[in-house]
Amino acid sequence: MAFLPFSPLTIIAVALAATLISPSQSLTCTSQKFANNKLYDRCSDLPHLTSYLHWSYNSGKKTLSIGFIAPPAKPDGWISWAINPTGTGMAGSQSLVAFKDSKGVMTVKTYNISSYSSIVASKLSFEVSDMSAESSGGNMMIFATVALPGDLGTTFNQVWQVGPAVVNGGPGRHDFQPENLNAKGTLDLQRGESNSGGGDSRMKKKNIHGILNAVSWGILFPIGAIVARYLRVFKSADPAWFYLHASCQVSAYAIGVAGWGTGLKLGSESKGVTYSSHRNIGIALFCLATVQIFALFLRPKKDHKYRYYWNIYHHGLGYSILVLGIINVFKGLDILDPSKKWKSAYVIVLAALGVIALLLEVITWVVVLRRKSSKSTKPYT
């Protein structure tokens, strides 16, 4: 067996280092703190526009204190959070809108939006107090206490939005991308839950995309590489190792293509949101893996003069896919931002594969060295 300078163990270690060196850019509501030291009982990561809602509900007084956080579409844009007692969209919503005034000071204004064509500052259908706004780290924040109407109930429709510009002292037109149009849902004060009608199905698609790609690029491909590198050393495993290796890689490719397809679908539905590096690595993975799979049909026989060069190409491309796949799984986890246990579970899986690769590396080297030693000491007859 001719050993290459890189093993799956080395590749896994490099990929882990590359993902752990760069800090995650993701953020959740539970990690957020306010400069004014405001504290809330509940918080929710809203499914669109990278927005977050913190709230406390006083059932006795029937008041709702909220802290809404979102990045404006542009630095001089605006953000908005609203209750809609009559519908699910913007029309009819009782809105709190925050932006920088002409002096660059953050301010909050109320808008009773009776229709899409009439957006002027006005009183809401319920009382609002303690209104304030802040801007920090690229985000804008709205703080307020709302006196909920008696007929509203504890579950109602909420709408949130961001816009790119302030026009004539008020919010300008926002984008009409899927992310903007789906920025609505319900707030259940009794259960402490914030739900989005469009967000549930979209989150399922994201989860499916993540699972497919983690299993394919992040687990099956490394297993296939370990099988090919180590099991072929044992003569008793030939040709079983090859069929096992090919099965792992073809299965990984099929699952990966399905995951890649769901990613394209998610991207087409969210034109306003782009994860450039994750997308570009995904496209590169698909292209490299496709070339790798079709290379099986051009595989020369063991004694062919071009087999040596084919091996260099095949191994080099395979290890490239291995590195990029693991890195992109971590990037996807940062974007999806699931519970920490899922990222920890994947790190444990990689660590387990690394330990297995290390043990097999030692065992196979021992086998190879013993074979060489037995050949060199074999008496001539």
Tokens, residue 53? 């809602």
Q: Is 54 annotated as a binding residue?
A: no
Tokens, residue 34? 């306010």
**Gyration radius (Cα) of the chain, Å:** 28
| Distance from the first to the final alpha carbon of the chain | 26
Among 67, 207, 222, 223, smallest CA distance to 134 is for: 67
Among 239, 240, 226, smallest CA distance to 318 is for: 226
Give the span between the Cα atoms of 361 and 188, in whole angstroms.
55
Give the span between the Cα atoms of 287 and 199, in whole angstroms.
31
Q: Which residues pair with 80 in a beta bridge?
A: 97, 161
Burial letters 207-236, b for 16+ CB under 10 A, else e: eebbebbbbbbbbbbbbbbbbbbbbbbeee
Q: Is 278 annotated as a binding residue?
A: yes
Q: Is 171 helix (H, G, I), strand (E, B) or coil?
A: strand
Q: Is 208 helix (H, G, I), strand (E, B) or coil?
A: helix
Give the span between the Cα atoms of 111 and 82, in whole angstroms.
9
Per the CB < 8 A criterion, the answer to whether 214 and 329 are in contact is yes
Q: Is 209 annotated as a binding residue?
A: yes
Among 85, 87, 46, smallest CA distance to 67 is for: 46
Among 78, 68, 119, smallest CA distance to 100 is for: 78
**Binding-site entries for heme b:** 209, 245, 278, 314
**Binding-site entries:** 209, 245, 278, 314
